[in-house]
Amino acid sequence: MSKLKPVFIVFLCLLLLPACGKKEPDRSNAQAFLEYAIQAADATNFLETGNYAGVMLNLKREYKDDIVNPYTKGDSLAVFNRTRAMFKDRKTTLTKYFSVDCLVIDDFVTTLKDLDTSEVVYCLNAESKGMVLAFFLMDGIYIYEVDENGEKKNEIKHFFEKKSKETD
């Protein structure tokens, strides 16, 4: 029995070793972009100022090309002020280079609170699978990823919070 004990211990360790190496699941691309959105909203004190231009500039300045589209390997960020600006930008025909499309809706009317996200439809092309789509609204941000079938996945509705005067 004493000779079998070390063999049993080694066998048990080998069985348990794979469980030790497991890590928590990685964050989704939608979650990764949410961090950028929160940072941009905080940096511009967005809920107090409504500074959409500041948010757009902050997103472009701070984005580190670290969100990668799993299908196209694109890692660029596109930030547009509503769809009109998007259609004027010739780069939108090259969506395979993008991983995130952020549409800033700066009408001071549309709110995430009143948005029925099941009705949010975004025009996609074949290269759009794997992209993160974000809609920056006056009270929050709606984000989702496009799966291989063009369906929404990893949906996030995040409401921005006002900074308390004590922390300023």
Three-state SS for 102?
Answer: strand
| Neighbour tally for 42: CB within 10 Å | 14
CA 16 distance to own-chain centroid: 35
Give the CA-trace dihedral at 65, 66, 67, 73, to 10 degrees: 70
Cβ partners under 8 Å of residue 103, min gap 6: 80, 82, 83, 86, 133, 134, 135, 136
> Residue-wise pLDDT tens for the chain (168 aa)?
566 666 556 555 555 555 555 555 689 999 999 999 999 999 999 999 999 999 999 999 999 999 999 998 999 998 988 655 555 555 555 566 788 988 898 888 889 999 999 988 776 777 788 999 999 999 999 999 999 888 899 999 999 988 766 555
Cβ(133)–Cβ(143) under 8 Å? yes
The domain limits of the chain are 28-161
- What's the pLDDT score for residue 150? 85
d(Cα 81, Cα 113) in Å, to the nearest integer? 20
Q: What is the pLDDT of residue 73?
A: 92
Q: How many residues does the chain have?
A: 168
pLDDT in the model for residue 160: 94
Whole-number pLDDT of residue 46? 94
Which pairs with CB-CB distance under 8 Å and at least 24 residues apart come from 66-69? 66/32, 67/29, 67/32, 67/33, 67/99, 67/100, 67/132, 68/29, 68/99, 69/29, 69/98, 69/99, 69/130, 69/131
b/e per residue 103-133 (b: at least 16 CB within 10 A): bbbbeeeeebeebeeeeeeeeeeebbbbbbb
pLDDT at 101: 86
Predicted confidence at residue 103, as pLDDT, reads 87
pLDDT score for 125: 72
